[in-house]
Structure 1
Amino acid sequence: MNHYEEGLNINKDSQKIDELIRDGNIFKQDKPNEGKITFCVENIKNLNGRIVSPILTVSNISWKLGVDSYPDNEYMNRQKFLCVYIVCNEDQESFLWSCTATIEIRLKSIYKNNDIVKNFQTDFDCDNTCLGFTNFIEWNTLVDECSQYLDDGKITIEATINVESTKGIKGKVEIDFDKYIKLPNDTVINIDGKKIHVNKEYLSLLSPVLRSMFYSGFAESNMNEILLKDIDVNDFIELLDVIKNPQKEVTKETVEILLKLGDRFDISYVIDKCEKFLMSTEDISFKRIFELIETYNLISVIYQAPSKLQF
């Protein structure tokens, strides 16, 4: 039997999590690319179907820890094991993402230094989201009355996740608009002699490019005014209007302006708004949408609106 089995079919309608676990499950994240799930499963002897932990997000990817018995109860004449597995990015609809991760799965013992620990490193992608061990521990050993892994009828399993690299994964920027739009203007941006008063803390939150100009060792950071070249002042005002007003809609007249400036200043919030518009609009031709996808690498549009991309 392989140490881990690919493509385990997770039953989303399996027994409810809150019937089998306590609220004490622990989710720990010390670094952006590392995290730990501690999953307590109650009444393991009566496990009936697959169950999974709540979601932990590491490197902008969702992770869950699942347990099951293998084989299931209909194969009573075969040796039974505890099956433990990791579910990676299960709800991601894109087929263009991937990540390389090292996983450590640990079944906790009631005795010190007696845990069962198994590891693997693998590449997850849209065709390979569920990996684990079908034979983590022999079932009778696990549930025996003298088992060192039972604590008042429950078991505790830990999964430590270390994400080494990702492709096609885009983080979401959460912004408290109420907090920032009320801040006073403290910086001047000069475009073709026209001065625009802005709050640099707010713009720095949204744009790594502007943050570098405001706070780094760039010459601009020591100037009373920030000079921006090769930008139409009205286009920049449109950009500011979108990022200062969450109710501001993207339109067919503004989407290309916003994509261009959002890409130039690396403002993911603006790019996301443009992607959502392109996924829903009927006012822009397929040809033009495809050109924008190629120019700005709009992965979300490719997989969220495939009907638009049919020749």
Structure 2
Amino acid sequence: MTANNELDHDFNCGSMKISLKNFKETNSKSTCLTKKILNIPWNFVVSESEGTLKFKLSCNENSANTMWNCQAEIDILIGSSNTESGNIKRCDNMPSQKVFDYKNRFIEGVLNVGTEPFKKDDMEIEVRLKMNRIYGYRKRKIINYLIEHPRFSNGIVLIDGRHIHINKQILGMHSKFFYNLFFGEFKEKDKKITEIQGVGYNEFLLFLDFIHPTGRRIEERFVEDLMELADLFLADRVMDCCEEFLIKADSLDVVKRLIWAEKFSLCGLMDHSLNSLKTMEQFIRLKKSEDYYEMSDEIKSSLLERATQLHKQRNLHNI
């Protein structure tokens, strides 16, 4: 695969990075990461067995569909989380290209880390993928905000020293913040380049995907970041989409949903989360959540009221 910054500019590329700190933090012998690249789900697992590191890279593993395949270039890099070390080793036992389909959904092997024992707390394993051909999957529309589109772009946002080409009308239509910035009585409305501070570069690109017709779907891994920007930029429709997603995301921890519902004033999510608690056993399990002690007194008061309602309903049922 080509230069390291290719992943920033080629939308057929993607990467997944696993830190072996997870082994120590979770007392586990394996760790995994899942990500969609060009709408195709990938799963990357790194495990340890008898002092040897192994990997498994899966493509579309849980799909019942047999009418798909993709050809990808694969590069696995082994490095240190210590940025000062700068040591990166390329796994040299990888095929340069691999075709995945319903019969060949994964590849696996041993990660060559050299003769010296690896330091689990310091290692990072990154897999880089470049899709060369896809069949049977409709690609999500990709908008490249890094280049100027003469018929589309009419402004530049500067974040972390990098230019992002935008359409002021589209931003203003979806965000009260940008409407006031570009069309209100602010000096920025006449500037070609507008700097936005306190916002991450990748997070802003994510936000742009949800105010443009890209068809991108919300995922648990970034929904909180998206809500932070929707709240900051007063983008009500984006926040509504996040709330709708969270109401349907029953696998997500109830405590976390309650905290987000209060933080972002999501009344529908708050009602849904409280009403989803139907047994006293569920209330007992709430205390086992790692986020339990982050709940405010107001949330705990609402939980107490909900528990009281259930207790009264149970007593009426027993009469």
- Fold agreement, TM-score > 0.5: no
Structure with higher Rg: it is: 1
Indicate the structure with greater helix content: 2
Could you state the TM-score of these two structures normalised by the residue count of structure 2?
0.39
Could you state the TM-score of these two structures normalised by the residue count of structure 1?
0.40
Q: Give the structure, 1 or 2, with the largest relative contact order (CA under 8 Å, sep 6 or more).
A: 1
